[in-house]
Structure 1
């Protein structure tokens, strides 16, 4: 037999062997495809009311809770409706998008805008908590959840819980873990920088007035005391946990805090309340407070101008980093 004929026979044999092998393997491949584990389409989470089955990576999302906007924005989650009236200019990707319906404000909500948006998921709660029952009733085909920090629980742990739930829903658990880890690290760093003895007072300014943010229970600044173990210059429970309690500049001067941590509510809005005065003018510029250690030594920490709008896990992480830098530089 010629060399050419031998080669032809060899090639034919190889072809038959390959064909046999492929035909033998094909059923197995089909079986593997048939038994492949499908991607999860829903996840059961525990919100502030109980267990709720929620779609994974829902396509049509309504968000009403200010705590979640920054995280959703970072993850490029589109919204079909949001309360633009209480979002300021912090999230232009949502507020400047005409395709995102405006739900208004919690005081005058346009709940019909939610229905018209035909959402798969509604993240309610926080300022919109009073509308929860109505929202559930009006949107029977949507999953409605409330995951905002709950009263009586540790605020920082609640922000971490909220972030972890968002990670489950939007299949971003690794990113959620990174966000919560950054919060933990910022707290640890600020604790280490704080000397443990300097006295601190929390204040809120609005409409030209100074209000007291009570340690632990006071708005925005209060949780920082328990998180960092700060020594309060004034020991007092909050009467108004939302807007702060009455306090005079004389009382602040008498307490003589080493540090002042301030939330300027007016700074969060493009159109501040009538009579608004910048926080630094009210505090550092006050004649009655010139002898206070915090003022004399320029140990006043002003929260980010958007803090009142956000109050989210990212805002607190940035605040602890800000405090760490201030304490370390003192």
Structure 2
């Protein structure tokens, strides 16, 4: 692991480089953006987290930073000019990872603004993990934040629909967007019909421990007929890095009927580079849970391994479908 001193030095250096690049970007990005607009099919005004924004329709050069949009953009046939390659899912994105013409935009912790600028985008899809960098990105090219949010009207899942529809309008893929939204709605309805007020624990598996995941995946149960045995109250944020200090005995006493788990390490590995322990192994090896209902009846739903890196419309569609299938089978 990097020392704190080294990490601070890297961040400081990145900040200096970023400042210089943005100064040059102010003078250069306008022409790149204008060129992109010339190649696009006019402009379209869309609603974003920053208000209504006019952007090029069917833009030629797109930087995709919002991980919740990746699967949708791929479904639309969009090939980005830059992405945060370290945040791409392990499966289904080898073409983006290995394509040298697609620049690496770094991560939200250490964004490579110089690479974003060098890719000469006419549209940057920011937001979510990159939300704090919006103003810097907007100096490079038109930048939108249409990422889903818990604070959005109707909540996170409803915001997934809005995000998909907005991207569909931008890229002229309204029909495909409708298909994605319809699939999400159908899966959600099936999951709602299959749940009948059962008690559920929402967990996050990381570093060999199970923590309270209500702040991160409570979005999944909001439209369903389930009772969370632990709420997100008291959780500092939706970050899975916060150690909730949850004791296994606490869950055993609450004795939920079901458990739904997000396996963070399956998506991004461990902090120290060691072999991650699978969530299922942790659950099955927890002695305190031996007599719980969910262990005895094998009522544990493991979200897809890449859920932590996607969290988009398709990820929630799959999650709702898994809930519907598991609860229906259990009767």
Contact 2:212 2:230 in 1 (8 A): no
- Shift in Å, 1:306: 0.3
Equivalent-residue separation in structure 1 for 2:236 and 2:221 (angstroms): 17
TM-score by length of 1: 0.83
Contact 1:204 1:265 in 2 (8 A): yes
Equivalent-residue separation in structure 2 for 1:297 and 1:317 (angstroms): 25
Aligned counterparts, 1:149-188, within 5 A? 149-153=148-152, 154-188=155-189
Who is 1:146 aligned against? 145
Aligned residues: CA RMSD: 1.5
Matched, 1:223 2:219: yes
Which structure 1 segments of 5+ residues have no match? Answer: 1-38
Contact 2:197 2:225 in 1 (8 A): no
Contact 2:64 2:82 in 1 (8 A): yes
Equivalent-residue separation in structure 1 for 2:46 and 2:142 (angstroms): 11
Who is 1:85 aligned against? 86
- Shift in Å, 1:235: 4.1
Say if 1:189 and 1:60 are closer, same or farther in 2 by CA, change over 3 A. same
Name the count of aligned residue pairs: 283
Equivalent-residue separation in structure 1 for 2:259 and 2:146 (angstroms): 31
- Shift in Å, 1:93: 2.3
In our comparison, the structure showing a higher alpha carbon Rg is 1
Contact 2:47 2:53 in 1 (8 A): yes
- Shift in Å, 1:281: 1.4
Equivalent-residue separation in structure 1 for 2:89 and 2:312 (angstroms): 15
Who is 1:3 aligned against? none
Say if 1:151 and 1:316 are closer, same or farther in 2 by CA, change over 3 A. closer
Equivalent-residue separation in structure 1 for 2:150 and 2:312 (angstroms): 15
- Shift in Å, 1:40: 5.2
Aligned counterparts, 1:100-249, within 5 A? 100-137=102-139, 139=140, 142-153=141-152, 154-194=155-195, 196-214=196-214, 218-219=215-216, 221-237=217-233, 238-243=235-240, 245-249=244-248
TM-score by length of 2: 0.82
- Relative contact order (alpha carbons < 8 A, sep ≥ 6): 1 or 2 greater? 2
- Shift in Å, 1:89: 2.2
- Shift in Å, 1:64: 0.2
